[in-house]
Every structure is written in C-alpha cells, then in structure tokens.
Amino acid sequence: MIRSSFIIVFFSFILSKAIGQEALNDGPYIFIEDQQLVEKSVVEGVAVRKELTDAYDTIFRVQPSIFTGVDKIAALSDIHGQYDLAVEILRNNQIIDAELNWSFGDGHLVIVGDIFDRGDKVTVALWLIYELEQQARAVDGRVHYLLGNHEYMVLHKDLRYLHEKYPLVSELLETEYDELYGSNTVLGRWLRSKHTILKINEHLFVHGGISQDFITSAGVDIEAINETMRKSIDRSKDEMKSTDFYSTYYGSTGPIWYRGYFYDPISEITVDSILTQVKSEHIIVGHCSNDEVVIRYNNKVFGVDSSIKKGEYGEILFLLGEEYYRGTKSGERVELNRE
C-alpha cells in the first residue's frame, strides 16, 4: 500500500513535469459522510483528507426550467476544463470582476453544458460556477448550468475523455473518478439538481439541440424532460438501453448529442416547426464547435461553442432585449450579423 502510494506520487510528479505544472493539485471534493462533511484534495501530489466545520449546502432544490421578463442574458458553453480562458472571457465581459465575484447584476448567465473532460481544470471551474450561482441569486441574477453530453458521460462512468491528470487524482484519492461526483458529494448532488433544457423569455437553451425525432418521442414539456434526464443519472446504461429510452434521450437526435443544426443541416422549415412546437423564437446550443459565436437559420439558432476547449480563444453571447452581441475574449461587443 505504501509502495503503491509512492509509485502514484512518483508518477504524478513525472506527469506534473510533463504537463508543465510544479505538482499535481486538485479538489476539493466534499463528501457527505454520516452527518459529517469530509474534504478530499490532492495537494502537491499528495492526498489530503480533512473533516470540515464550514457549512456547505447538501440539499439542492431543483430550480424552475422557465423564466420570463429577463432583460440581460449571457451564454457560453464547452469550457472543457479551460478554466483560465473561461475566467478571462467572463472577466473581460464584466460577468465577473477581478476578484472573480459576480458583477452581472440581475442578469442571467447560462452555461450551455460541457464543463467536464478534455482540460485539466474541471474542478476549479465547477466551484467557480457553484460560487457564482449563489452570488448571482443574492442580487436577483441567476447562473444556469445546463448538463451537456460530457457531464452525463462522466456521471455514467464513461471516462474516455478525462485529462490524463484525473485518473491519477482518482488513484490518489482512492475513489473512482465518477464517484468523486457521486450522490454523497456536494458537487454530485448539485449536478443532480441541474437541467438539460432551459427557457428564458423566448429563448430555449440546450447543449445539443432539439430535433423533430426527439419531440415526436418525448414531447415538449421542458420540466418533464428535465426531470426524466435527472432521474436517469443514476440509472445503469444497460437498464436504459433495454428499452428505446436510451436512444430517445441519449442518442444522436437527443438533446445532449444532436448536431443537426450544424453538421447535417435541416431545413429552415423544420427549424420553424420545432420553434413553434417548443413555443420559442430562438434556440441557443453548444456542442458544435465554431471559431466564434455564430447565428444560423435567419437569426433563429445561436451556436455558442466558440472552441474554448482549445484554450486559445472564446466568446460569450449576449442577448440584451432585442440586441444580440458576441462578446469577444477581450470584451469587445460585436453585433451579430443577421443573415
């Protein structure tokens, strides 16, 4: 045991050098154990466990899926562990201040899925969004973190896209990676309260998109779809695959995987029909990467995956009343070209 810990620390040291860090650091992961909160972290390549006396929420109430009368909305997606770039974009666009505190007032910030996987700063990104959510609520703003396919993949133990750092973290903490987000953890419970689809004013937000196939199978009741998705987090894949449930909700035309607005474009008539059925005027999606925030189908579909995952550049969408802008990495606001 001591020997295997030594080997893990040794390899975490080698990896840290390889990825250009001084040492492996990650966490905290907060576990709810017998009325006691236990914090587990990796500090300089070593697992650290401590019992917490600080108060943390352990029960997360499901928030509404539909909001109206919101004047300021900002949205970005597919952060994929690129915490530093995400912070730069949020800060330069005055969503947060220099101390990383909420500064978007009563505005709503929507994270349209996929904070997890690929990059090496997933945990700190999650805690930032967690903190901002509480700060925003205190001033009548909101942060909405919608679950994307990579959140569901990790929660369903599909760990193919983890940054190479995280299997080491998992070994050091002697906990399977998905169990770091289990239902006995603070972040795990928080994630299990999140939506897949959100409607603000006449805008519908969802990571992949809404296809006609999905509407035909699952309907358009947003609250019901969100509840079904939430309940499926702790269902086994085998059980879900035993009926057409899995292909409906998790297949290529389901809300977290659909790419039909971009890679296999559908007709504008179909988009119009989908919008009518979901009683919305715009759909805002992530999941399909572009170099900037893009607008498609005569101003009806917005794509906010601006390739933050590459760690170089990214943007944020602003919907301010009838005015729509791309917020660039440096904080410039560019009016979106209407087709």
Polymer length of the chain:
339
CB atoms within 10 A of CB 187: 17
Residue nearest to Ca ion (CB): 287
Candidate ranges 42-50, 79-87, 142-150, 243-251; the one touching Ca ion (CB under 5 A): 142-150
Q: Give the footprint of Ca ion on residues 192-211 (CB under 5 A).
A: none
Q: CA-to-CA distance for 208 and 225, rounded, in angstroms? A: 14
Using CB under 5 A as the binding rule, whether residue 287 contacts Ca ion is answered as: yes
Smaller CB separation from Ca ion, 148 or 209: 148
Binding part of the chain for Ca ion, among 90-98, 138-146, 149-157, 192-200 by CB under 5 A, reads 149-157
Burial label, 220 (beta-carbon count in 10 A; 0-12, 13-18, 19+): middle
Q: Which is nearer to Ca ion, 8 or 115 (CB)?
A: 115
Task: Give the DSSP H or E segment for 91.
Answer: helix 83-92
CA distances from 285 to 187, 203, 261, 294, 309 (A): 24, 11, 9, 10, 15
Question: Smallest distance from the beta carbon of 305 to Ca ion, in angstroms?
Answer: 7
CB of 189 vs Ca ion, minimal distance in Å: 23
How far apart are CB 210 and Ca ion at their closest, in Å? 15
Is residue 114 near Ca ion by the rule CB under 5 A? yes
State in angstroms the smallest separation of the CB of 286 from Ca ion: 6
Q: Which stretch binds Ca ion (CB under 5 A): 122-130, 193-201, 280-288, 318-326?
A: 280-288
> Quick one: CA torsion of 199, 201, 202, 205, rounded to 10 degrees?
-30
Using CB under 5 A, which of the segments 9-17, 58-66, 126-134, 281-289 binds Ca ion?
281-289
Q: What single string gives the DSSP state of each residue in 269-290?
A: HHHHHHHHHTT-SEEEE-SS--
With contacts defined by CB under 5 A, how many residues of the chain interact with Ca ion? 4
Establish if 149 lies at the interface with Ca ion (CB under 5 A): yes
Residue 298: phi and psi, rounded to 5, are 50, 50
282 touching Ca ion, by CB under 5 A:
no
Q: Which two tokens stand for residue 136?
A: 């925003």
DSSP-based three-state secondary structure for 13 = helix
Residues of span 61-80 touching Ca ion by CB under 5 A: none
Residue 117 touching Ca ion (CB under 5 A): no
Q: Which residues contact Ca ion by CB under 5 A?
A: 114, 148-149, 287
